[in-house]
Amino acid sequence: MTDRFQGKTVLVTGGAGGLGRAYALAFAREGAFLILADINEAGLAETKDMVEALGSGASVHRVDMAVEADIEALGRDVLATHARLDVLINNAGLHAGEIARGFFGLGQAKWQHFFAVNTIGPLLLAEALRPALAKAKGVIINKSSMASYNPATAYGITKASLNVLTHAMAQQFGTDDIRCVGIAPGLMATDAALGGVDPENWERLKAMQSVKRQGTADDIANLGLFLASDEGSFVNNQVILCDGGNQMRGFRI
């Protein structure tokens, strides 16, 4: 454990498990105070206990990223208690089920829901938190996906759209010295991925990687630590793949 983030505040959406929990624990080990947001209150409580067991503090907030009023309320709550926000990790998102199986026949309502959570929600939350991010000269980290580089599903399309939005956010938020970057994970060994990919397909997809070991949530969290740290402070307006050099994008077909 080091103290790179001692005295700093980090907000993680989707913090109830998976990559969100990995981010939370990684920053907690570095001394950060965690603001955890998710729709899963039980998972949030578990992550909070794990953060506190590492000697860091945390607060939890239930938020549905498809509901603008929830996002606005989270922004108000955070600004009321934290003058500065050093890191915003827009990790929450939809990734399983219909969104990952194609894009015909979904209808307007489903498309709007998918975009609300995966693309527009991160922007609205960053807007709501802009005063605290500006005071800290903080960084926004958006969670993309390798699927965004060959978007053959609704999931990939929402993430490709988030990539474009990440570049726009870097320009617009940059006037307040706020950086904005994205991380595009590949096939990582998380509960969500393990439950959403058939075992036979799992090995086929892993074989497409130049690096043959299995990616883990810690690989993504470690990249997030670097991008948010002083060492990564000159990286901006980029979406960085972390997928072991996978040769096929858009694997959710």
> What is the three-class DSSP state of 161?
helix
How far apart are alpha carbons 99 and 155 in whole angstroms? 5
Handedness of CA 26, 27, 33, 38 (dihedral sign): negative
Residue 5 to residue 25: CA distance in whole angstroms: 12
Two tokens, residue 54: 């590492």
Catalytic annotation present for 143? no
Sign of CA dihedral 35, 223, 115, 174: positive
Amino acid 179 reads: R
Distance CA 30, CA 56 (A): 9
Which of 8, 48, 143, 159 is catalytic? The answer is 159
- Catalogue the active-site residues: 159
